[in-house]
Structure 1
Amino acid sequence: MHILPRSLVLSLLILPMAQADSVHQPQEDFWQALSALCGQAFAGRLASYDESLDQGWLDQQLVMHVRKCSADEIHIPLHVGEDRSRTWVLRRDAQGIELKHDHRLESGAEDEMTWYGGRTSDAGRAWRQVFPVDDYSRVLFVTAGLEGSLTNIWYMDIRPGEHFAYGLTRVGRHLRVQFELDQSVEPPPPAWGHE
């Protein structure tokens, strides 16, 4: 009978736990980089867009405000000119990070097209997390006649001190909004429904 050294047995038990932690490390690093921006606002620009689909965003001031942060939730309102209807809501748990789009009317009531988004399917990178469309969103898109959105993939990039970017991709579509992080701007008023 062979007896394994105690240190080898312990390392064999600890290794799977360490590997599990390292799988989520890129998400932890991403979360910490985004959380470090809490309370700050940044001006942005359309880096990639479709002139006809994104017409309402052209020539508008774009401002993101990392407004609310906790250990498991971050709210980032996106202001497009005077339109304060959009908030990106990020939530994290043991399975990964979820991105939802909270759309509100000026009255503060929820828009019919709200809470769509997706969840990370892997650890991603410390500088990029990707959110493939989820089942709730697919049902919402079919109901609204937006079958083209059934393959949506959203992403967020963060390069501390350089830029933050939000993007949407699908066949024939790429929207990217990029915000420069080297200079903050005055935080805008709260998003509609979050006063």
Structure 2
Amino acid sequence: MRFIYSIFLFFMFQLGFAQKESGAKQFWNTLKQHCGKTFEGTITAGATPNDPFVGKKLVMHVRSCEENRIRIPFFVGDDKSRTWVLTFDNDQIQLKHDHRHEDGSEDKITQYGGKSPNSGLPNIQFFPADQFTADLIGYASTNVWWITLDEKSFSYNLRRIGSDRVFTVTFDLLKPIATPEAPWGWKE
């Protein structure tokens, strides 16, 4: 009987009926492959002449990869205040924005973001604003962030539903750059 069951499992696997990793898990594992690497980005949507990101060097550093948490500092020129914090839990990913002052203390607007409503796809994860964000920043209650990821690029995106607000910065994963100093408030 065991032999027949083993053959059954073998054929089910060969036919693709075996359970594959979820979209969230595949996305997570792909992102972890970039741990320790640093990439330069460009604004690919939503830039305005008075945007504080325009004309600045944009850098992401996949600095810390733990089993269920990945931290990615995002530098805008000399401003090292931002870190994207991704947490994997129960087959969903949460995105939080950790904002710090130069002395390492938390900004009053920090830890906002959202959690994916489902496991998503291997190359894209959506994060609608959570209740904490709505309470902290009322106008951001309709924010939706998403990250796209493939073998060539990583993009961080923001859309404020009901407005013209959109922002995308895209990083070239084929061209790692030198590792920057730690972000503000970083503790190993």
Matched, 1:115 2:99: no
1:176 aligns to what?
168
2:184 aligns to what?
192
Matched, 1:152 2:148: no
Matches within 5 A, 1:55-94: 55-94=51-90
Any gaps of 5 or more consecutive residues in structure 1?
1-6, 12-18
1:139 aligns to what?
135
Could you report, residue by residue, the CA deviation over 1:123-160 in whole angstroms, capped at 9, with x for unpaired residues? 21100000000011100013xxxx2x110000011112
Kept after mapping to 2: 8 A contact 1:50/1:173:
no
Task: Output the CA distance in 2 between the equivalents of 1:113 and 1:95.
Answer: 28
Letter paired with 1:123 = S
Deviation at 1:95, TM superposition (A): 4.9
Kept after mapping to 2: 8 A contact 1:86/1:102:
yes
Kept after mapping to 1: 8 A contact 2:22/2:91:
no
Could you report, residue by residue, the CA deviation over 1:19-66 in whole angstroms, capped at 9, with x for unpaired residues? 9x65x61111100110000000000000012415x6110000000000
Kept after mapping to 1: 8 A contact 2:92/2:119:
yes
TM-score by length of 1: 0.83
TM-score by length of 2: 0.86
Deviation at 1:88, TM superposition (A): 0.1
Letter paired with 1:28 = K
More helix by share: 1
Task: Output the CA distance in 1 between the equivalents of 2:46 and 2:181.
Answer: 26
Structure 1 stretches of 4+ with a deviation exceeding 2 A read none
RMSD: 2.2
Deviation at 1:173, TM superposition (A): 1.2
Letter paired with 2:41 = G
Task: Output the CA distance in 2 between the equivalents of 1:37 and 1:87.
Answer: 16
2:45 aligns to what?
48
Could you report, residue by residue, the CA deviation over 1:64-111 in whole angstroms, capped at 9, with x for unpaired residues? 000000110000000000000000000011151100000000110000
Task: Output the CA distance in 1 between the equivalents of 2:46 and 2:186.
Answer: 28
2:121 aligns to what?
125
Task: Output the CA distance in 1 between the equivalents of 2:132 and 2:78.
Answer: 29
Task: Output the CA distance in 1 between the equivalents of 2:185 and 2:56.
Answer: 21
Any gaps of 5 or more consecutive residues in structure 2?
10-16
1:165 aligns to what?
155
